[in-house]
Amino acid sequence: MALMTWTAEQYGTNVSFADEEHQKLFGLLNTLYDQATNGADRSQVGASLDALIAFVVDHFAHEEKEMQAKGFAGYEAHKAEHDALVATCADLQTKFHAGEADVTEEVGQMVKTWLDKHIPTFDKAYGPALG
Ligand code: FEO
Protein backbone atom coordinates (compact mmCIF):
# COMPACT_ATOMS: atom_id res chain seq x y z
CA MET A 1 0.00 0.00 0.00
CA ALA A 2 1.24 3.47 -0.88
CA LEU A 3 2.79 5.35 2.01
CA MET A 4 1.34 8.67 0.85
CA THR A 5 -1.60 9.61 -1.36
CA TRP A 6 -1.87 13.20 -2.58
CA THR A 7 -5.27 14.87 -2.28
CA ALA A 8 -6.02 18.54 -2.91
CA GLU A 9 -7.93 18.72 0.36
CA GLN A 10 -4.99 17.58 2.48
CA TYR A 11 -2.03 18.84 0.46
CA GLY A 12 -3.26 21.35 -2.15
CA THR A 13 -1.43 24.68 -2.00
CA ASN A 14 -3.21 26.55 -4.81
CA VAL A 15 0.21 26.82 -6.51
CA SER A 16 0.38 24.56 -9.57
CA PHE A 17 4.14 23.94 -9.71
CA ALA A 18 4.16 23.00 -6.02
CA ASP A 19 1.20 20.66 -6.30
CA GLU A 20 2.76 18.93 -9.32
CA GLU A 21 6.12 18.58 -7.60
CA HIS A 22 4.52 17.29 -4.39
CA GLN A 23 2.70 14.59 -6.36
CA LYS A 24 5.94 13.54 -8.04
CA LEU A 25 7.72 13.60 -4.67
CA PHE A 26 5.03 11.33 -3.17
CA GLY A 27 5.50 8.93 -6.11
CA LEU A 28 9.27 8.75 -5.60
CA LEU A 29 8.79 8.27 -1.85
CA ASN A 30 6.20 5.51 -2.39
CA THR A 31 8.56 3.69 -4.78
CA LEU A 32 11.42 3.87 -2.28
CA TYR A 33 9.18 2.78 0.60
CA ASP A 34 7.77 -0.17 -1.35
CA GLN A 35 11.23 -1.34 -2.38
CA ALA A 36 12.72 -0.90 1.10
CA THR A 37 9.90 -2.70 2.91
CA ASN A 38 9.58 -5.53 0.37
CA GLY A 39 13.16 -6.72 0.31
CA ALA A 40 14.36 -5.14 -2.94
CA ASP A 41 18.07 -5.21 -3.82
CA ARG A 42 20.12 -2.75 -1.81
CA SER A 43 21.43 -1.18 -5.03
CA GLN A 44 17.86 -0.57 -6.19
CA VAL A 45 16.92 1.00 -2.84
CA GLY A 46 20.04 3.17 -3.00
CA ALA A 47 19.19 4.41 -6.50
CA SER A 48 15.64 5.27 -5.41
CA LEU A 49 16.94 6.99 -2.27
CA ASP A 50 19.32 9.11 -4.36
CA ALA A 51 16.56 9.98 -6.85
CA LEU A 52 14.16 11.03 -4.07
CA ILE A 53 16.72 13.18 -2.27
CA ALA A 54 17.84 14.88 -5.50
CA PHE A 55 14.21 15.68 -6.30
CA VAL A 56 13.52 17.00 -2.79
CA VAL A 57 16.58 19.28 -2.96
CA ASP A 58 15.42 20.65 -6.35
CA HIS A 59 11.85 21.09 -5.10
CA PHE A 60 12.95 23.01 -2.01
CA ALA A 61 15.21 25.25 -4.15
CA HIS A 62 12.27 25.91 -6.49
CA GLU A 63 9.97 26.92 -3.64
CA GLU A 64 12.67 29.09 -2.06
CA LYS A 65 13.34 30.89 -5.36
CA GLU A 66 9.63 31.62 -5.84
CA MET A 67 9.20 32.79 -2.25
CA GLN A 68 12.17 35.13 -2.56
CA ALA A 69 10.96 36.45 -5.91
CA LYS A 70 7.63 37.38 -4.29
CA GLY A 71 9.23 38.78 -1.12
CA PHE A 72 7.27 36.25 0.94
CA ALA A 73 7.59 37.09 4.66
CA GLY A 74 7.67 33.46 5.78
CA TYR A 75 10.75 32.68 3.71
CA GLU A 76 13.35 32.40 6.49
CA ALA A 77 11.32 30.08 8.73
CA HIS A 78 10.33 27.99 5.72
CA LYS A 79 13.91 27.66 4.49
CA ALA A 80 15.03 26.59 7.99
CA GLU A 81 12.52 23.73 7.83
CA HIS A 82 13.86 22.69 4.44
CA ASP A 83 17.47 22.86 5.60
CA ALA A 84 16.73 20.63 8.59
CA LEU A 85 15.19 17.88 6.44
CA VAL A 86 17.96 18.09 3.84
CA ALA A 87 20.54 17.65 6.62
CA THR A 88 18.70 14.59 7.93
CA CYS A 89 18.44 13.15 4.39
CA ALA A 90 22.11 13.81 3.59
CA ASP A 91 23.15 12.04 6.80
CA LEU A 92 20.98 9.01 5.96
CA GLN A 93 22.25 8.98 2.36
CA THR A 94 25.90 8.98 3.49
CA LYS A 95 25.29 6.25 6.06
CA PHE A 96 23.26 4.13 3.64
CA HIS A 97 25.99 4.15 1.02
CA ALA A 98 28.61 3.39 3.70
CA GLY A 99 26.55 0.35 4.74
CA GLU A 100 25.86 1.87 8.15
CA ALA A 101 22.11 2.49 7.82
CA ASP A 102 19.10 1.13 5.97
CA VAL A 103 15.87 2.60 4.69
CA THR A 104 13.40 1.19 7.20
CA GLU A 105 9.71 1.45 8.00
CA GLU A 106 10.68 4.07 10.59
CA VAL A 107 12.49 6.16 7.97
CA GLY A 108 9.39 6.09 5.75
CA GLN A 109 7.15 7.09 8.64
CA MET A 110 9.54 9.90 9.65
CA VAL A 111 9.40 11.43 6.17
CA LYS A 112 5.62 11.00 6.01
CA THR A 113 5.21 12.69 9.40
CA TRP A 114 7.44 15.57 8.25
CA LEU A 115 5.48 16.06 5.00
CA ASP A 116 2.12 15.75 6.79
CA LYS A 117 3.12 18.74 8.92
CA HIS A 118 5.21 20.74 6.47
CA ILE A 119 2.90 20.89 3.45
CA PRO A 120 -0.30 21.90 5.33
CA THR A 121 1.54 24.27 7.69
CA PHE A 122 4.32 25.82 5.64
CA ASP A 123 3.57 25.19 1.97
CA LYS A 124 -0.13 26.07 2.14
CA ALA A 125 0.89 29.35 3.80
CA TYR A 126 2.56 30.61 0.62
CA GLY A 127 -0.54 29.89 -1.49
CA PRO A 128 -1.96 33.42 -1.40
CA ALA A 129 1.44 34.96 -2.23
CA LEU A 130 2.56 32.54 -4.94
CA GLY A 131 -0.74 31.29 -6.40
FE1 FEO B 1 7.02 21.61 -0.65
FE2 FEO B 1 8.32 23.55 1.53
O3 FEO B 1 8.22 21.94 0.65
Number of H helices, E strands in the chain: 6, 0
Going from the Cα of 18 to the center of ligand 1, the distance in angstroms, rounded, reads 8
Residues 6+ apart with CB under 8 A from 118: 81, 85
Which residue owns the Cα nearest ligand 1 atom 2?
A: 123
> Is CATH 1.20.120.50 correct for 23-130?
yes
Going from the Cα of 36 to the center of ligand 1, the distance in angstroms, rounded, reads 24
pLDDT single digits (tens) 26-74:
999 999 999 999 999 999 999 999 999 999 999 999 999 999 999 999 9
Distances (CA, A) of 19 to 7, 33, 43, 56, 124: 10, 21, 30, 13, 10
pTM: 0.97
Output the ligand 1 site: residues, CB below 6 A: 18, 22, 59-60, 63, 78, 82, 118-119, 122-123
CA angle 83, 79, 116 (to 5 degrees): 80
Q: Which of 9, 10, 58, 6 is nearest to 27 (CA)?
A: 6
For the chain, the structural domain boundaries read 23-130
Tell me how far apart the alpha carbons of residues 17 and 108 are, in angstroms, rounded to a whole number.
24
Tell me how far apart the alpha carbons of residues 103 and 108 are, in angstroms, rounded to a whole number.
7
Neighbours of 54 (CB within 10 A): 12
Residue 118's pLDDT band (boundaries 50, 70, 90)?
very high
Mean pLDDT of 88-107: 97
